Amino acid sequence: MHLFCRCRFPKQLSLVKNQTSAFLIFYARSNSATSALSVSFQRTYSTTVKMTDSMKQSLVAIAQMTATSDKAENFAITKKQIQEASTLGAKVIFLPEACDYIAESHAQSLELAENIDGPLIKSYCKLAVQNHIWISIGGFHNRCSLGSKMYNTHLVIDSDGKIAGRYDKTHLFDVEIPEKKIKLKESDYIEKGGSVALLVESPVGKIGLGICYDVRFPEFSLSLAHMGADIITYPSAFTVATGLAHWETLLRARAIETQCYVVAAAQTGIHNSKRSSYGHAMVIDPWGTVIAQCREGTSLALAMIDLEYLNKVRREMPVFTHRRHEIYHQPTCVSPSLPLSLPEEDAVFVFGQVTVRGWAVFYQSRHSVAFVNRKCVVPGHVLVIPLKPSKRIPDMKADELADLFLTSQRVQRGMELFHGVSSSNVDIQDGPDAGQSIQHVHVHILPRRPNDFKENDQVYVELKNHDKGPKIDWREEDDMRKEAAELRNFFKALM
């Protein structure tokens, strides 16, 4: 592995020359956020860095590659990079956008696409477990229900092989510059995502997920920063023309304005006769310094994520406390994690004075779960609750509340499709005087049918009394298990 980089080293790191296995580790830390030793290394000899165990806990790897339409070859390349990153001690490896393939035509791209449950993602999940490493799949062609389009999906897989985060690219690259022979219209074959994803809590910090063109939108990165991001990722396949003009400038700007680490894995080189990418995968610290960068060709670079340094930058340049929220709009869009993994059947969730078993859950996001009901007012009456016990809505944090309501929206939409209806009651009884019997915030979702009550408002009376009294006709567990299994399969298919 060969690299050329600008980097900063703390005094306790010692460089050892003339080693046969070459790699550089870049560590962003200085005595002052405004002063740092800048050192340029040219590749004249092999270099290694001695690290302490505590330093290894915050090591990340960024990958650079030249993907083609050969999926097997692309996977072999990333597999080798993942294994190498793990051997070097990285806790997370970031792969570029389109690491699964770059096709030669839209038709071929659709033909090669898989969904999240396909063999490719399963193979990456196995690699994560085998190599004890988190993997950011910076963008894969995710087949969706729209037969003519796909999602450009960024997944994060944890070291247990479970999907810890998902983001569907929201800003699509539609650009035509005839004089530079550039014509890319992503919207022709990619379905745009609907919102910013929740942060992924990883061993190296809280990661905000972006993809490529998202880097041109500061509102996007500021949304992630306000959610508490330590690291923002922009896995990319930048064109050569736009990369030469803007790549490093944009990445450094996003790091400076958010005071986050910016990690940008990248495609590089000639993919086919129609497509080339700029490369220059890099990591930038919260002060805007490039601390790691891959050289030309398929390569890997390592960087240290120093959260103490990040907090120091924010203390010494407290721009977030100086913001005038009252005079300009504050980006706040967030989305729940998709139900990419569900709890084991014997899992137990606290629900006020009672508990919910894992088999009853059919949808789970980062902060919320949806489950079938023991006593339904109407068929399909289900509940959504925050995972963190909260008696009332005012007790919840902003990200938990956003997740609860957006999860409820998705569950409502799914339940209406499942039952073939177009109306629902969505109700929260917040406090005992409002009819709340379980001391835990919960959202009732009731799919409605024509004339299911003689008087429409009777539903509220039934909702108030359905689980109260000495003789309640609770549902049988077998019936609930059957409904939960059907809903699990249905919601899985929706994704």
Q: Which of 91, 141, 154, 169 is catalytic?
A: 169
Asked if residue 8 lies in contact with residue 37, where contact means CB atoms within 8 angstroms, the answer is yes
139 in Cβ contact with 97 (< 8 Å) = yes
Given a contact cutoff of 8 angstroms between Cβ atoms, the answer to whether 28 and 317 are in contact is no
**Active-site position among 212, 381, 440, 444:** 212
Instruction: Indicate if 212 belongs to the active site.
Output: yes
Distances (CA, A) of 394 to 333, 354, 390: 20, 21, 9
In this structure, what token pair is assigned to residue 461?
Answer: 């009376």
Q: How far is CA 460 from the centre of its chain?
A: 38
From the candidates 442, 444, 466, 483, give the one annotated as an active-site residue: 442
**C-alpha torsion angle, residues 214, 219, 221, 227 (rounded to 10):** -130
442 given a catalytic annotation: yes
Tokens for 355, please give them. Answer: 């508990």
What long-range pairs does 488-493 form, CB within 8 A, spacing at least 24? 488/342, 488/362, 490/414, 490/417, 490/418, 491/339, 491/362, 491/363, 491/414, 492/117, 492/339
Residue 169 known to be catalytic: yes
Distance CA 461, CA 457 (A): 7
Closest residue by Cα to residue 184 from 112, 264, 107, 238: 238
- Backbone phi and psi for residue 282, each to the nearest 5 degrees, phi listed first: -155, 165
From 84, 97, 191, 400, the catalytic residue: 97
Give the pairing type, strands 382-386 and 443-448.
antiparallel
Which residues are CB-contacts of 137 (< 8 A; sequence separation ≥ 6)?
Answer: 95, 99, 100, 121, 124, 154, 155, 156, 157
Q: Which residues carry out catalysis?
A: 97, 169, 212, 442
